[in-house]
Amino acid sequence: MQHTKYLSVVLGAALAACSNAGAPLGASQGLPLAAGAARTVVGQNITVPRGYRVDVFVRGNAKRFNPDPIVEQGNAVYVAFQNATNPDGTGGRSTIVQYKRDGSVVRSIQVPGRCDGMRWNPYTNLMWITVNEDANSALFTWDPPSGALKQYAFSSAKHGGGYDDLAFSNGQAFVAASNPTLSPRGKNKGPALVSIVLKGHTARVTTVLKGNAQATDIPTGNVVQLNLTDPDSLSVTPSGDVLLVSQADSEIVFVHDAGTGSQAVSRVLVGTQLDDTVYATEQDGTLYVGDSKKNAIYKVRGRLQAGAVYTEAPSDSKVNGFVGTVDPTTGTVTPLITGLVSPTGLIFVSDGSN
């Protein structure tokens, strides 16, 4: 595809430019930083442009480590620590910690398996948690004040894998159908995004978007056939569209009116693997960033752009880990914060929600 080739050329040029620039940290073999003098945050080995500030919110410890999903609700920030559990659920349990805004612990729970998806359900006021994104997936609901934790089994996994990130929009619940079994030609013919309805102890799933659905390529306007081989992260745009990151495909998919008769699908290629991707709804706010390998959650403040889309590249993205912006109309990715090892969790919290 011409568009894919173009993005690859641009990314390659950016990588070459950065490798010759002598960027801070000495290991910035990735996309060039945004314009503006950069500085290294003392004691953190993290480089940010002028006008930004990075502080440690909390660090894990020997009993809770590998942070990933982050959720803000009310005056609390929730972090799920995967504790080196395998993506099929073997080898451990995850710890979910509720923190106050000052970083002090309110309470914590453990769930069996590896928590890779966690979102607050605004319709039921319960935390929804998914575990084991590759296989053997399950869903939990948690009421933090009472401690009530309920487990649900998924009704099916027609794509042959597991379930990952969650999103809530227009009265519906959605989950990414991750780690699909591909055809001999490497095609995903199963679901990439499903809706969920809880009945008894079952999470009943219905296909919303197939891995080989048609979509409009945003930069060109052409209709293309998707091949979503790695459905991963979800979020919701300010207009209520479901945003799906297909990480290994270096692709962002937008599902308008998801799960309805007027559903429309568009996509943009981004040239590098991305993970959590969120909109900044206003200028005054904070990005919370989890670095799984540094076992830390950071707070980023500064010249955030209202309406901008912030994203991150984890350690398996073939570039050094960073947090930056992505233009949803062109797919251009601009790193802002480097020196992270494996950024995984990312949320935006407006000052108005404090």
Residue 18 phi, psi (nearest 5): -70, -35
**What is the Cα–Cα distance from 72 to 354, expressed in whole angstroms?**
10
pLDDT in tens, the chain (354 residues): 333 333 333 443 343 333 332 232 222 334 455 555 556 554 568 999 989 999 999 999 999 999 999 999 999 999 999 999 999 999 999 999 999 999 999 999 999 999 999 999 999 999 999 999 999 999 999 999 999 999 999 999 999 999 999 999 999 999 999 999 999 999 999 999 999 999 999 999 999 999 999 999 999 999 999 999 999 999 999 999 999 999 999 999 999 999 999 999 999 999 999 999 999 999 999 999 999 999 999 999 998 999 999 999 988 878 899 999 999 999 999 999 999 999 999 999 999 775
Query: In the chain, what is the greatest distance between 2 CA atoms, to the nearest angstrom?
Result: 59
In angstroms, what CA-CA distances link 220 with 168, 217, 268?
A: 29, 6, 9
Tokens of 126: 């319960």
Burial call 281-319: b when 16+ CB within 10 Å, e when fewer:
beeebbbbbbbbbbbbbbbbebebeeebbbbbbbbebeb
Tokens of 277: 């991707």
**What is the Cα–Cα distance from 268 to 221, expressed in whole angstroms?**
10
DSSP string, 137-191: -EEEEEETTTTEEEEEEES--TTSSEEEEEEEETTEEEEEEESPPPPTTS---SE
- 172 contacts 121 by C-beta, under 8 angstroms: no
Neighbours of 263 (CB within 10 A): 14
DSSP string, 176-193: EEESPPPPTTS---SEEE
Superfamily covering domain 56-353 = TolB, C-terminal domain (2.120.10.30)
Neighbours of 242 (CB within 10 A): 28
